[in-house]
Amino acid sequence: MRTPSDDVFTIRPAGLADAEALCAFKRQIFGETEFLLQGLEDFDDQVEVERDLIGRFHHQSNSVLVLAVLPDGRVIGLCSVVGGHLWRTRHVGTMSIGVLRAWWRRGVGKRLMTQTIRWAQENPLLEKLALQVHATNTAARAMYQSLGFAEEGLLRGEAKLGDGEDDLVPMGLRLPRRGEPLQHALVRSWD
């Protein structure tokens, strides 16, 4: 089912030409929410660094960087999968997502996640997606669960949040083997 927002933004893999827009996106999002594990204090605000990051995603067959982009090229959300680098962990992709606050609860995050999960399903190396979410971020936890992710434990005091600490909840999604259906309906591939 399409929503009005579907026609406003495009979901697609990041390209080297997106480096400047990705810098602007990160500059903004890191100042808007504490629910990300990376913050402004960890951000190297240089276009060349972002270009290098995008290039690394292109060279790792079990990794992808997906963007939600407005027609003018502005990035409003991203979702990444970083596949394990070791032989024994290359079948697991660690997923991250971020959406600008103005676009929360408008379907951007869910579309990013579903299309990235679709990419992972088709990737011959990946068998599982994993992520970590702040225990207090109940909206995100509910969205991940609606996509088939299951909670796999609790990491107490694992992240700083404001002046205190927050627990992190590891979640995982087993990807079906080729030919097996995923338990949750996913949207079409890249627009």
pLDDT truncated to tens, each residue of the chain (191 aa)? 444 455 699 999 999 999 999 999 998 888 887 776 665 556 667 888 889 989 999 999 999 999 999 999 999 999 999 999 899 999 999 999 999 999 999 999 999 999 999 999 999 999 999 999 999 999 999 999 999 999 999 999 888 877 889 999 999 999 986 556 555 434 334 44
Would 181 be classed as within a structural domain? no
Nearest CA to 147 out of 94, 108, 111, 99 is that of: 111
Structural domain containing residue 43: 4-174
**Number of structural domains the chain divides into:** 1
The two tokens of residue 66 are: 């997906």
CA–CA dist 24, 20 (Å, integer): 6
Would 186 be classed as within a structural domain? no
SS3 80: strand
pLDDT for res 37? 61
Would 125 be classed as within a structural domain? yes
CA–CA dist 151, 158 (Å, integer): 16
Kind of pairing between the strands at 92-99 and 128-134: parallel
pTM of the model: 0.84
Would 187 be classed as within a structural domain? no
CATH classification of the domain holding 122: 3.40.630.30
